[in-house]
Chains A and B, each alone.
Chain A
């Protein structure tokens, strides 16, 4: 951090000012002039919170994607299908057993199994042929999409939020002050906050597992040079299978989350594939912190964009990607 400040004093200053402005926008009571200029504070705060929680969902999808890519150089374009598959499994479990938490576990296990099968049956056969693997994942995503359309039809499904998570909570953030002087607090759905907290926990746990454990060390070594790692006697195929299973399982969990947040329908697979592509392009391929930063940026841009410039929300996301490609083609937090 201090090195960054020393090397780019101007940028550091701009960043600090921007952070200060954002914090002021979130915590201060807005003066009337500002409310007239850009609308009510409640709308802004809601957009920010929606953006952050959506970023949490994007992070869940994109972290599995980026983990698989980082280790195996395999762009799994069927990742969106795994997301949708996990969502449908979660829906089936939660409607039949009524347990929301169980649906996460089953979705994780089943999508992880699909991931293991993919790695063992398909990708192991064409190791090192990145382009061909990518083509195969495109073919698989078409087949999966049609199979799921066959099995589940074109309807919209929404996973029932458990009763102990339904309803809003008051956050200690003042959105406005009534004429009587009584402050009005922001009310926000509890389930989204819980899910966001869970995705933060998963992210931190992944970071710790990657940086503090032996398996994490092996995976990081594999990201850097898998040939040398294999030469040191590590059973790299086993590591590949485990990582693929874990990444796929994360996509499955994200599917359940997405099914609770939003809804499940054909086409969502492509939407989330695109989201994770943009997230990892912005954040940097193969980097978990990059996926977190990218997910946050894209989630915020999407939600703020859809509130303040509704017609061009998607263009904002795209412009961010173009900007990152133009300035740092390897992504914001990639090491190369």
Chain B
């Protein structure tokens, strides 16, 4: 019981930040419009390297972390297997579609292979979720971590489907209507569209009856059960939705790198997704994307940065780990929480100085 209690404390800011009216929240927010416009015209600003290596990668990782955020923020269950689901979907695209390993790939066209991969990965994630909901809180973390690690070792050992530790290379990317969809600019828009779709789907679901019931389950499962809600069914449904989102990100990832190997589904990578979500903040869907941007920027530039400071460039993971520790120590709500606290602080200062004037 104490576990559920703890999860509630950890995510209470979400309930506090709940908007009063159920409208599209970003409509009146000029900053959101600016960000959307910048994202849309990004190919004009950024060249190929930044467009794909930074922004497309950020959006893909952000979508994976978004699926974790949905489970953790609204469902109260922290799942470490979201990357595993994405990796499974990526493997399925490579296995059913066309790749350099002709003895393994079945050579289906992408419009058959992708739905198949999405369906299988969603089923995989839902099954894993059905196992995980039998437990609560930190037990869930352990079980999903164990599932992720088991999948990693399995892909390393299995040669018939997953091609062992070399993985599957030269995965074909879609090519139709005369457009090569893996070329930088079209691919960026595909990724952007998918990420936006997932983002708004999560936004919508969080205010739909299902999402509200899910948040009720997060806050007090006993009470929801007494009210006649099927607690476990809600949780499994949340896993199913999150798995679908993660599977979409997995398809994009395999198209991005054109290969998939056990290294991409390692335990460290699973934990990276958690780090991204937590650093960004798990109470709002925008958090994972902010976290992913920070993570990708650090991963890409930490080496140069550390070398310039006269330190060993290989200590990138140390930097990530320390940053993660700092965030967990000082803000339970990631970067968003820090930002909100700073804003409130500012506002209080302003109102206090204003009040002082009136009295003076």
Contacts and interface: CB of A to CB of B under 8 A. Distances in A.
B138 A138 contact: no
B157 A314 contact: yes
A138 B143 CA distance: 15
B197 to A, nearest CB: 29
A119 to B, nearest CB: 16
B131 interface: yes
A116 interface: no
B135 A311 contact: no
A315 B150 contact: yes
A136 B329 contact: yes
Interface in B236-286: 267-268, 271, 274-275, 278
B69 interface: no
A130 B9 CA distance: 10
Interface residues of A, number: 39
A1 to B, nearest CB: 28
B100 to A, nearest CB: 23
A166 interface: no
B312 to A, nearest CB: 7
A139 B150 contact: no
A130 B138 CA distance: 7
B interface, over-half SS: helix
B146 A131 contact: no
Contact of B2 (A73, A277, A311): A73
Bin the interface of chain B by size. Answer: 35 or more
B328 A136 contact: yes
B303 interface: no
Contacts, number: 118
A270 B268 contact: yes
Contacts of B324: 135, 138-139, 142
A139 B312 contact: no
B312 A150 contact: yes
A142 B270 CA distance: 12
Interface stretch (B19-27, B111-119, B207-215, B314-322): B314-322
A75 B328 contact: no
Nearest to B8: A131
B274 A130 contact: no
Given A139-B324, A321-B146, A313 B157 contact: yes
A165 interface: no
Given A136-B329, A270-B267, A326 B145 contact: no
9 contacts: A130-B2, A138-B324, A139-B275, A139-B321, A139-B325, A143-B318, A143-B322, A277-B145, A311-B158
Interface of B: 2-3, 6-7, 9-10, 78, 131, 134-135, 137-139, 141-143, 145-147, 149-150, 153-154, 157-160, 267-268, 271, 274-275, 278, 312, 314-315, 317-318, 320-322, 324-325, 328-329, 332
Given A142-B318, A142-B324, 6 more contacts: A131-B138, A136-B325, A139-B328, A277-B142, A318-B154, A321-B143
